[in-house]
Amino acid sequence: MTATMETAPSPSASVVHATTPTVLMCRPEHFTVSYRINPWMHPEDPTDTSLALKQWTVLYDTYVDLGFTVHLIDSLPGLPDMVYAANGGFVLDGIAYGAKFHYPERQPEGPAYMDWFRSQGLDVREPKATNEGEGDFLLVGDTILAASGFRSDTSSHQEIADIYGREVVSLQLVNPSYYHLDTALAVIDPTTIAYLPSAFDDASLSILRERYSDAIIATEEDAAFLGLNSFSDGHNVVIAERATTFAKDLAERGYNPIGVDLSELLLGGGGVKCCTLELRA
């Protein structure tokens, strides 16, 4: 059940304004954990596809209730991680930069997502460098934060800069549990982020501290539920329901945290943001 946790903002809270995003999602009809490519995955433990679908549907319904436009891509047999749509590419200015996955188990997802982008009339750019889409590329205002360290090659940062002509800021991830940028950093609005310091190397931390001095600093406890793997429209922030400190921090700044339970999909190493690819015209 979706839990809205809106509280009265503090006197120092920011003035925040919601947008109406368009997103792409994929039903977890074939979700299971049959291999291990991140520390969250334990193929020896059972998973419940029907529960994953039920929890995912709550997330889908939450977005619809918030007024989002939600598109769906068909899930394909043999691709259990296709539910993590954020990894399927990066879409901005009507251009879709495709994904080129690091692990062989996920590599067929790249062409599947690019085919969907083409079907929607997007200008698709096929990647040369290994990258995992919005998993490692996050737009903050007009700047693209780009991570490497586990899944996306540093060379993809120059590739995405050339495609979009935007400033790209490179960051280095160092904790294997936070193997994608969107597991360690959340975009709240065009000027505000939240992040987990221990997920980044010292040089990256210096960049984040200088650029985002007013950032929300996440707790290790909330990050352990992939609490930072969240999606915001600028006011409403959909997060893991167990990330209670993060919810409190958001509410104190005038945002509306909305908690959902994606515990079954967490078994594959994904949360709210992993299931959500933003489509920016």
Catalytic residues: 180, 274
Can you read off the two tokens belonging to residue 217?
């600093």
Burial 66-76 (b: 16+ CB within 10 A, else e): bebebeebebe
- Closest by CA to 38, choosing from 226, 244, 219, is 226
Following CA atoms 259, 199, 161, 135 in sequence, which dihedral angle do they give, to the nearest 10 degrees? -40
Can you read off the two tokens belonging to residue 259?
């908690």
CA dist., res. 205 & res. 140, Å (int): 16
Following CA atoms 197, 198, 203, 207 in sequence, which dihedral angle do they give, to the nearest 10 degrees? -10
CA dist., res. 174 & res. 177, Å (int): 9
Beta-sheet strands, E only, within the chain: 3-4, 22-25, 69-72, 89-92, 95-98, 123-125, 137-140, 143-148, 167-172, 185-189, 192-195, 216-217, 231-232, 236-240, 256-260, 277-278
Q: Which amino acid is at 8?
A: A
